[in-house]
A and B are shown apart, each in its own frame.
Chain A
């Protein structure tokens, strides 16, 4: 402790050059390709992308849920000073559910249909701590109350199918937080829920985050929900991170054309309702045959603005556009900014 105090506390989670590939009969599926990011303690990182962008695989890699026998995984994942990829299976298992926890998209299918919700929560306690049955039940009950389950003392003995969708997700959250993990990964936690319930769940995650000092990774395809909950946003496409920035920066000064596309397809209260949503034309790339250059090039409207056809041939690097803003794009920075500002103005209704 004699060394000089560091100005910045190291991030709770740091992912470095993570690649995950699955060999299949059709070829190598490059699900995650050289992904790096970090999240500081207590912060929320949103990872945004379409399905197949690699965001869920990244989350599963952090959770250690990738089948090592079925996948090739390289890179490093540092959680609170511990590298996870090289960790033996039993040690990783000890971390899962205690240091790092996860909630999923569909709480109905994610809860075991045959067991009572209380039992499913206490099972998570017993997996990591030596606690008596009564104490575990009391703890589970308290957590159920804290996640806002009404009449929790009765609901604790319900089966999942007896609860509403929102209640089930609250149970999932209670189960994830029961061991006070440092990191919570929420994989599309509201996608399967009613719109009115979505906000409640997001609000609940937010309030619990500050209460328990939890770091959160929010995985979503919906940029719309990100604004209120995330500190930083990483946009993934074709297994790669294409843009990372603080939330407000990403919303107001996006640079990557894919991010622009996502933004323009988000319905927003502050936009002219007459403006139609503008989906990105084309389909996400096949993970088996990724384009050699920029993975987004086939769907990008602006490839012809890059000289020499570089978008199709050369792989763009993730470069700093600003100290906390990384962009992976061949377009010159000024041009990107110009395109973005024009578009945002149109979206805001101030046509030209």
Chain B
């Protein structure tokens, strides 16, 4: 579960975030999201009217959303990590592609409201899917009239083929692997699937997959047979289950050597990577609004500009002249430019009102503690208590980059979040943001052991260097000795995941794949989860996680996650630091269809720009 690609290295190097975890998160910060399966289709039949109705008082958007124009997307990246629909796994990329070129069975609702946005809307499917067999079988029926860009119909076979590609892990690498995890296909002894993907499967191996995923006779209904009950499998199908026509598949180079086959309202006209490179999307002539009530593609064209300098980008966005008037920026505003556009995180400077927004990004940031090395819980408690979280946040960029965190489940996960009281009552007394070295010393003496010498891992960037120094100073004030072990940014995660090379504690981050802590607690704190930087492997905890995963009553499941989040914090497998926030900006010539007064908002499901909702004024 979860997806992180080579993007680690790039953004980690910026020193802004190291937790470049792709994924979706939804739910507002305070209110609970209703269970996904109960969410009705919003099914707006014509986009403009639907959007206009949500912003009746908008002065900027008084004329309402309209079609036309070109929207530019400025990015520092040299390219999209992956264009292949089975391989794309960076939140922002997925948000962009799903709004423009790729359709999936289900999609997240377009809304500035996190609760609403975290609910599914049928996309290629006619409804939100039908579970049966105790949620071990899921069935989706395709809409009529859905086509690829060449006009050929999108069939069950195309969705099935797209899904099968995920199993070719040697070629289709880097993408989400939920299909492998959940589809009812036997495993080899080493845990890999017996189905090696469509490229080199024998007839017998292909039969295994054909049994797990079946199509109806009319090729319009797809059935997934799962190896376990998955109550929220309709969320899962937003990740890597897009259709790909078999005839067009070129494997490793799919989507790059030639444009990928589009199913959404736009198609790729050209794609050049690197500095000065562009991806140009034009309208897909074979897309029809009738077959896609979910999207309202306002711009006539999209142009993604790669390889821009972040400082230059900020200035271009702030000045907003020429083509930049209709530009969006991939990634946040740099810390030094925040004061230009914001009064405080909740208030824009007047001339930038509606153009900038500060809100939760998908990531929770934390310091993992290797419990195989630091086995004494009191020592870990002392580390948490001693940590100067206030300095950490200040160095990272202050209140614009995040709220102080109390766990790894973030408030934007909706009902799964509950305060853990980690810093108020959990350790018996309130812990100030700046840390409490005296109390930490007490905890060390209670541990019955001497304060150990600790090695701290972090990506070697200027910002993290300063953060590491603050971590070192605050823990040393409590009597620890801390050795700093910086790691080149491009190698950070591959190093800390190597038990032989990892230190005692270090910087980490994680974003949920969809608005359910099933994509947070298991990956972070179970061995099979894939992101277990803490090396936690507690049998009781593992059992409780399995039970929560199988819980089909969503509110009950939420309570389970809340409890597990609190338990992990009590055992101090990680010290939560920040609930990350991003500061986005859009050009003065753009507006959103559903934002307040047509203003910019962070689209909750991917913590991204609202690509599906912007239009040229």
- Asked if chains A and B are in direct contact (CB within 8 A), the reply is no
